[in-house]
Every structure is written in C-alpha cells, then in structure tokens.
Amino acid sequence: MGTVAGRLVTVAAAPPLPLRFVMSARRVGDLPPTNAELAVVGRSNVGKSSLINALANRNQLAKVSKTPGRTQLLNLFDAGGGTTLMDLPGYGFANAPKQVRATWAPMIEGYLLGREGLRVVLVLVDAEVGPTPLDVTTLEWLEANDLAFRVVATKHDKVRPAKRDKRRRELAEGCGLAVGDVLWVSASKQVNIVELRGRIRAWLTDPGG
Ligand SMILES: Nc1nc2c(ncn2[C@@H]2O[C@H](COP(=O)(O)OP(=O)(O)O)[C@@H](O)[C@H]2O)c(=O)[nH]1
Ligand SMILES: [Mg+2]
C-alpha cells in the first residue's frame, strides 16, 4: 500500500482480472452500456486471446486459435465493478475472404468512434516482428481520432535475450514511442502479466489514470 496524491492505492497485489464472457456483437449499438471499458486490438495471431486468458488466469476464456482470423465479432467481457473489456477482431489476416476483411474496418472503427465509456485501447504488437505497417496505421488512426492508447509487446519469450535491447528500441521507435512507453509481456512465461493487470485496473477505475 502507498499513497498517491492523498489516495490509498494497492501496488503489490494484482490478482487475476475477474473476466466473464458477456456476449459477441456485430455492431456497437448492440452492446450493453459500461462504466469504463478497455479495448484490446492487434493483428491476428499477435497473442490477444492468450493475453486475455493470462490476465484472467483462465485457459479457455478467450479462444486461443492456431487458425488466425476466425474471431470476427466484438467480444465483450465483464471485468467487475461495472467495467468491461472488449476483445476486438484481429486485423490483417491476408487469407480471410475479401468480404470478411471488408467488414472488419467499419466494425472496428464504428466501435472505437461510437463506444461510450471506452477509456483506453491496448494495441498489441508482436515483440519479434512488430510493428507491422498495419500496426503503424492503427496507431496513427487512433492518434488522429484522439483515442487514448497504450502499446503492449507480446511474446517477449520469443525474442532471444541478446536481441532484446535492440528489438525494444526498434519496436518503440517504429511505434513513435519512447522505449519506456511499451510494456513487454509474455502470456506463455507470465512476464509482466501482474504488472499489466495492475495497470488495467488503474485505467478502468481512475478517471484520467
Ligand atoms: N511463445 C509464445 N507464443 C504465444 C504467446 N502468446 C500467444 N502465443 C501463440 O501465438 C499463437 C496465437 O495466439 P492467440 O492468442 O490465438 O492470438 P490471437 O489471434 O491474437 O488471439 C498461438 O499459437 C499461441 O500459442 C507468448 O506469450 N509466447
Ligand atoms: Mg484470438
């Protein structure tokens, strides 16, 4: 425990997020209201489902797919206390049928621009290969639309220790950020999962946090 600006905050413990699947929706208008929502976005196969499972410490909460590009709906999770987490469809899966790809952008943009209570967008970038041009386009789009976002680099365990410093710099620079602005995580090896849980709780409960 410690005090920040006169308020008592818990810094040590970060238990799993109490995530519970609520519904899949095709459009933002079909979603129930929320007090505060965190949206998770990233290219297909970036490790989004694995990260959501790790945050909740559950194996099968969000489907971990070896066939990318199959989650094409807005998947809403309850995160407790009237707060929610949105699992957005993965972008940039080249083998998806054209019609399917064509619906992604309007669906995601409609959600991001229309969702009341959306606090922050977590953009997942693959630590080994990111950011891709589509990741950069997404970040630029979020910035242009004045949406608060944070970048998280996934699959930290896949980058060899000797290459990590260089990759950290390249990835952050590619995103237009400082090295310290990108949190590196691994769902497989539980790297920085506790840290991310704490940050998510803060974003969802602290106005302006
Ligand atoms: N090595 C490693 N592999 C991961 C990690 N997270 C996810 N993966 C693998 O990456 C693939 C895609 O993961 P998934 O969570 O389904 O990605 P999504 O398409 O973004 O939801 C799967 O084969 C996962 O097992 C990680 O932290 N480390
Ligand atoms: Mg997934």
Question: pLDDT in tens for each of the 209 residues of the chain?
Answer: 445 554 555 445 689 999 999 999 989 999 999 999 999 999 989 999 999 999 999 988 987 766 655 567 899 999 999 999 999 988 766 556 666 666 667 888 899 999 999 999 999 999 999 999 889 989 999 999 999 999 999 999 999 999 999 999 999 999 999 999 999 999 999 999 999 999 999 999 976 55
Q: Extract long-range pairs of 50-53: CB within 8 Å, 24+ residues apart.
A: 50/154, 50/187, 50/188, 51/124, 51/152, 51/154, 51/185, 51/187, 51/196, 52/19, 52/77, 52/85, 52/87, 53/187
Residue 192: predicted pLDDT? 97
Q: What is the SS3 assignment for 2?
A: strand
Cis before residue 207, ω within 30 degrees of 0?
Answer: no
Exposure string over 14-43, b if 16+ CB within 10 A, otherwise e: beebebeebeebeebeebeebebbbbbbbb
CB atoms within 10 A of CB 192: 17
Residue 60: predicted pLDDT? 87
**Which ligand neighbours the alpha carbon of 48 most closely?**
1
Say if residues 106 and 133 touch (Cβ distance below 8 Å).
no
Task: Supply angle C-alpha 186, 80, 148, rounded to 5.
Answer: 60
Residue 62: predicted pLDDT? 86
Check residue 148 and report its DSSP letter: -
Atom of ligand 1 nearest to the CA of 189: 27
Residue 207: predicted pLDDT? 60
Atom of ligand 1 nearest to the CA of 68: 19
Query: Cα(62) to centroid of ligand 1, in Å?
Result: 11
CA distance 157 to 151: 17
Who surrounds ion ligand 2 at CB < 5 A?
Answer: 48-49, 71
**Would the pTM count as exceeding 0.85?**
yes
- The one-letter amino acid code at 26 reads R
Return the residue matching tokens 């799993």: 16
Identify the CA nearest to 204 among candidates 86, 31, 65.
Answer: 86
Enter the tokens of residue 165: 């410093």
Partners of 85 in beta bridges: 38, 77
Sheet strands (E) in 5-155: 7-9, 20-25, 36-42, 74-80, 83-87, 118-126, 149-154
Query: Cα(7) to centroid of ligand 2, in Å?
Result: 37
Q: What's the CATH code, domain 2-205? A: 3.40.50.300
Query: Cα(89) to centroid of ligand 1, in Å?
Result: 15
Say if residues 183 and 199 touch (Cβ distance below 8 Å).
yes
Residue 164: predicted pLDDT? 96
